Amino acid sequence: MKQLRKIAERTVETLLTASGAITTLVIFLIIVFLFKEGLGLFNSPVVEKGYVLCVHEKNSVADLTAYQIKQIFDAEVENWKALGGKDEAIELFRFEEIFNHYPEAEFGEDYQYLPDKLGEYIRHSSGIIAFLPKRYAPVDKPGVKTLREAQIRITDFFFGKEWMPTSTPAPLFGVLPLIMGTLWVSFFAILIAMPLGMGVAIYLSELANERVRKILKPTIELLAGIPSVVYGFFGLVVLVPFIQQLFDLPVGETALAGSVILAIMALPTIITVAEDAMRNTPRAMREASLALGATPWQTICRVIIPYASSGISAAVVLGIGRAVGETMAVLMVTGNAAVMPRTLFEPVRTIPATIAAELGEAPAGGAHYQSLFLLGCILFIITMIISITAEVISKKQHHAV
């Protein structure tokens, strides 16, 4: 009998060890895959894949950044001098325009003469910049120069202020508005949730009787199980119109709406962790404070809260983690405008919302697809920092005990 019990214990131990090892390996492989796909963005060309930019051979400009290309094709820059070239007007040319200048019969049955015609047109236009498919580009034709195929730079990604992954001829992957939008909404959500959560935690821990506590605490913990899409519907139907009318705004989908919804979603975490930390304060410390003549409020403010400060800090950090990683609710109420946030009354876009909204439309393996994986890497790093911070704070609390 003892032998069978030992065999069963070893079997269970082996299964648990194998389960832990497999789980760890799977998580590691997921992280490797995430970073492998994301970092591939910096091997992608600035110009849309399969296309090139051609200019006249006498043009002194050798390459252009994605932002400069956008400025050219949006007619924000109209002279080569602004880009380091000579004082000459820029002439924009797209591939389909060649059919307006030559009869289609001149291109041959399989368009074999199309590169010659494109080269001829570029040769006679000194200020031209042509956006052409690689297969038809007059790469080796006289009078034509192809701009160097620069790759997307790390600085363009992390410090760029425009997120336009589908623009042509050069997509823009400036992630700074998304990072700032995420931190902006999360920061104000914690500013709203922290005083409310602390108030409820103090009430449950120190003021509420046992009967009230047994009803309120499970109810609050139950709020954490409500799907985020339900919070999003509530925000869209109730909160967004209310904010629009209250502040007389053009639209109610703003950073403020996202912050309030995230604050509501973070409250159960903050209340539960903070209340547990305060209830773990030794009874002797409470009694000693009261015996010295302190009032219950003085005991709460000067004894219980300082003693439970590590646990309260961990509650706030975990609340931030809840807010940073939220997707659906924020996607529904913030307006999803990838712009640098300036006030709470403007639409913003967060990293999780961007991934959820765009991943289904991004071609697999393309620059847009890789940029979304890189956003996932950034979100992973942010949440890892938050988790490590919470763990460090919790360990400080245990050492204090």
pLDDT reported for residue 375: 92
In a domain, 155, yes or no: no
Residues 124-134 have pLDDT tens digits of 888 999 999 98
For residue 328, being part of any structural domain is answered with: yes
Is 56 in the same domain as 27?
no
Tell me if residue 134 falls in helix, strand or coil: helix
pLDDT, one tens digit per residue, over 249-273 is 888 899 999 999 999 988 888 888 8
98 and 120 assigned to the same domain: yes
Strands 128-133 and 91-94 come out as parallel
315 shares a domain with 186: yes
Which residue stretches of the chain have pLDDT < 70? 1, 105, 394-401
Tens-digit pLDDT profile for residues 33-70: 989 988 989 988 888 888 999 998 888 888 888 888 98
Query: Helices 351-358 & 176-202, crossing angle to 10 degrees?
Result: 120
Instruction: Classify residue 165: in a domain, yes or no.
Output: no
How many folded domains does the chain comprise? Answer: 3
Domain of residue 116: give its range: 51-150
Is residue 108 classed as helix, strand or coil in its secondary structure? coil
Chain-centre distance of CA 295, in angstroms? 47
Side chain identity at 147, as an amino acid letter?
Answer: L
Same domain, 182 and 324: yes
Residue 183 to residues 63, 84, 232, 330, 353, Cα–Cα distance (Å): 35, 37, 19, 13, 13
Distance of CA 269 to CAs 48, 116, 190, 273, Å?
45, 67, 12, 6
Task: List, in sequence order, every residue forming a beta bridge with 144; answer none if it has no partner.
Answer: 56
19 and 66 fall within a common domain = no
Shared-domain flag, residues 194 and 67: no
Integer Cα distance of 138 and 146 in angstroms? 9
Residue 105 and residue 86 in one domain = yes
pTM of the model: 0.85
290 and 185 in a single domain? The answer is yes
Same domain, 237 and 118: no
| 214 and 347 both lie in a single domain | yes
Q: Is residue 224 part of a domain?
A: yes
Task: Read off the tokens for 3.
Answer: 């032998």
Tell me if 104 is assigned to some domain.
yes
User: Last residue of a domain, which of 150, 166, 185?
Assistant: 150
